[in-house]
A and B are shown apart, each in its own frame.
Chain A
Amino acid sequence: MEKKKAFSAKRNTGTLFTIPVVISLVILCIIIFCAVFAPLIAPYDPVYQDISAAHSGSTEAHILGTDSVGRDLLSRLFYGGRTTIVGGLAIISLSILLGLPIGLFCGYYGGIIDSIFMRICDILLSFPSMLLAFVLVAGFGRGSMNNAIIALGVIYVPGLARLVRSLTLVEKNKIYVEALRSMCYSDLRIMFVHIIPNCISSVIIQLTLDMGYAVLDLAGMSFLGFGVQAPTADWGNMLNEGRGYLMQQPMLAILPGLCIIALVVSLNIFSDGLYRYLEPQQRKLPTFKKYDRMREKALRKAGVKNDE
């Protein structure tokens, strides 16, 4: 009886760490570890050219082989991860830095400021984003990774600002905000101390998702020569360089491509898991079939015979 009670009292609090999320986290950790400790674990300097060993396949010296100018592929993958992750982080940081305050102010105050900013966002959103990024990079000057990051950062602002704005609109009309207003709180305090914590979970979910897309976009820019420039190692860049040798040495293109896919898919799965965890309404309920199985298992574990 006691044991039975113990089981029924167990609340389904939900866990972040479902199997797909754990797998994606493991992959993310490996990628981040390799990127962070690249100088320690990479066997070679990523830009060191060993012309004599160019286009070598897998050898003892170069496990994954070398590229057309004899740079070690493994080392370049480690260092490339660095560039890609830092680039992605920089892009979403920039977008949140601009998007959050814009969305917050527009949502909270509404009126003419809101209309102006939202129309600007509409205009930005009406262009294909990559095209817009190219235009911006062309304006800022081609050839620097920073410019590509700024351009992409700007591209991600409108989406985020709109998200924050709609979340703010919802929160603003809740009674607790009115209660705070009735207690003479300043608008800034209401916005930053009270509204932000209530929309931050959705923003974080969106950011993890955006991070994946940002990595992809940056790789795309680099692939097209607008982003990271040679000889800096970057997965997109490497993919572009490897493209020419697809027949002779396919690994040169496949491996950076796989890395990008692994990073983006992991980020997506992680973001999805986070969403389910932070927004309990989205959690899937166990059906009674599943619940009964779980219950039986728990009871057996507790040593109670099936007494029903």
Chain B
Amino acid sequence: MHNDINATVPCIEVRGLKKYYPFKGGRTLRAVDSVDLAINTGEIFGIVGESGCGKSTLGKCMMRLTELTEGQVLFQGKDISSQSRKAIRSDLQRMQMIFQNPYSSFNPKLKISYSLAEPCRLKGMSKPQIKERMDKFLNYISLSENELNRFPHELSGGQLQRLAIARALLLDPDFIVADEPVSALDVSVQAQILNLIADLKKNFRMTMMFISHDMTVVEHICDKVAVMYLGAVVEWGESDVVFRNIQHPYTQALISAIPVIDLDQQKKERIILQGDIPTALEKHKGCRFASRCSHCLDICREQPPQLRETEPGHYVACHCC
């Protein structure tokens, strides 16, 4: 695609992104609160967190589907956060999105073939061009023409999600945001989709932001990972490095909470977080996680921790690490 891997310009970069929603009672919901991240070309960047941590909002802000409150989004070095959507249309067209629920990702009244071809036509591709591209990707997602001539309700979730991926790829995007693309699917189908994404990454050097609540899935597929809690990144880095040595207490709890299938691996002591996830309404003076953290020190309640590089390629926002 457009960038050299060694070039210093990442595919997409987010600087100090904030998204606040006004809330009743004059309060503000800090859905995303100062997030910085950079995704390089050919990378799958995982964003993990529980519901309400702002991971989906972050994705939508980057796609300009919602307006951001503050901060910058740089797409291939170009600021796409300040101009109107119309002015940066050609840039936005090079970014695509895949959604959680494949059943409602397609217009129910239109045949799949139309839903797939329409965006290409609007982009100015000719009919034979579209046909050629479609054949190429259909082969990839192991579906046939037969499925194309049906309506969304006649297909299974797995087929639809593969088609949704194909629709995104048909436009030859430089960046894809996948918002929980496998959460609504059964495990066997989830495996198909994950394999497909891994394949595509290898063959097309696809750049993707993979939003998920499932640690194991993210570990399986992502090159880099960022863990979000209440609108901020608490730990991020190379996925290999991070998962080998998880440092932030929240990430540790998150990993520990996952039910393990292998009977032999279950003996370890489990960290069970007490209490609920607080809402992002309150302004946090210190560390956001302080109220649920078992290692909480005095400083944690006073001063918000900054992201620090604790080992090469591993950043943690915690006073204790």
A contacts, CB < 8 Å to B: 174-176, 178-185, 189, 194, 197-198
Give chain A nearest CB distance to B167 CB in angstroms: 8
Do B63 and A176 touch across chains, with their CB atoms under 8 A apart? no
Provide the bound-state CA to CA distance between A112 and B189, in Å.
45
Do A182 and B96 touch across chains, with their CB atoms under 8 A apart? yes
CB pairs A–B below 8 angstroms (28 shown)? A175-B99, A175-B101, A175-B104, A175-B105, A176-B104, A176-B105, A176-B107, A178-B97, A179-B97, A179-B99, A179-B105, A179-B106, A180-B107, A181-B65, A182-B95, A182-B96, A182-B97, A183-B93, A183-B167, A184-B85, A184-B89, A184-B92, A185-B122, A189-B122, A194-B110, A197-B109, A198-B107, A198-B109
Give chain A nearest CB distance to B84 CB in angstroms: 12
Q: Which residues of B contact A181 (CB under 8 A)?
A: 65
Q: Which residues of B contact A197 (CB under 8 A)?
A: 107, 109-110
Provide the bound-state CA to CA distance between A179 and B178, in Å.
11
Report the nearest A residue to B93, measured CB to CB: A184
Interface status of B10 (Cβ within 8 A of chain A): no
Binary interface encoding of chain B residues 117-139 relative to chain A, with 1 for a CB under 8 A from any of its CBs, else 0: 00100100000000000000000
Do A178 and B65 touch across chains, with their CB atoms under 8 A apart? yes
Do B96 and A174 touch across chains, with their CB atoms under 8 A apart? no
Provide the bound-state CA to CA distance between A197 and B100, in Å.
24
Interface status of B313 (Cβ within 8 A of chain A): no
Of A179, A180, A198, most buried by chain B (CB within 10 Å of CB) is A179
Interface size class of chain B, counting residues whose CB lies under 8 Å from the partner chain: 20 to 34
Do A183 and B171 touch across chains, with their CB atoms under 8 A apart? yes
Q: Which residues of B contact A194 (CB under 8 A)?
A: 107, 110
Report the nearest A residue to B63, measured CB to CB: A182
Q: Which residues of A contact B104 (CB under 8 A)?
A: 174-176
Q: Which residues of B contact A184 (CB under 8 A)?
A: 85, 89, 92-93
Find residues 70-95 in chain B having any chain A CB closer than 8 Å to their own CB.
85, 89, 92-93, 95
Give chain B nearest CB distance to A108 CB in angstroms: 15
Provide the bound-state CA to CA distance between A178 and B65, in Å.
8
Q: Which residues of B contact A189 (CB under 8 A)?
A: 122
Give chain A nearest CB distance to B174 CB in angstroms: 14
Given A194-B110, A197-B109, A198-B108, 13 other A-B residues pairs in contact with their CB atoms under 8 A: A175-B99, A175-B100, A176-B104, A179-B167, A182-B63, A182-B96, A183-B167, A184-B92, A185-B119, A185-B122, A197-B110, A198-B107, A198-B109
Q: Which residues of B contact A180 (CB under 8 A)?
A: 107
Q: Which 7 A-B pairs have the closest CB atoms?
A: A182-B97, A175-B104, A197-B109, A183-B119, A184-B93, A175-B99, A176-B107
Provide the bound-state CA to CA distance between A185 and B121, in Å.
11
B contacts, CB < 8 Å to A: 63, 65, 85, 89, 92-93, 95-97, 99-101, 104-110, 119, 122, 164, 167, 171
Report the nearest B residue to A182, measured CB to CB: B97
Of B65, B101, B106, B109, most buried by chain A (CB within 10 Å of CB) is B109
Provide the bound-state CA to CA distance between A183 and B117, in Å.
12
Q: Which residues of B contact A176 (CB under 8 A)?
A: 104-108
Provide the bound-state CA to CA distance between A176 and B102, in Å.
9
Report the nearest B residue to A196, measured CB to CB: B109
Provide the bound-state CA to CA distance between A176 and B112, in Å.
12
Give chain B nearest CB distance to A171 CB in angstroms: 9
Q: Which residues of B contact A182 (CB under 8 A)?
A: 63, 65, 95-97
Provide the bound-state CA to CA distance between A175 and B104, in Å.
6
Provide the bound-state CA to CA distance between A198 and B107, in Å.
8
Q: Which residues of B contact A185 (CB under 8 A)?
A: 119, 122
Q: Which residues of A contact B119 (CB under 8 A)?
A: 183, 185
Report the nearest A residue to B88, measured CB to CB: A184
Provide the bound-state CA to CA distance between A69 and B106, in Å.
64
Give chain A nearest CB distance to B111 CB in angstroms: 12
Provide the bound-state CA to CA distance between A92 and B105, in Å.
34
Q: Which residues of A contact B108 (CB under 8 A)?
A: 176, 198
Provide the bound-state CA to CA distance between A178 and B110, in Å.
16
Provide the bound-state CA to CA distance between A130 and B81, in Å.
53
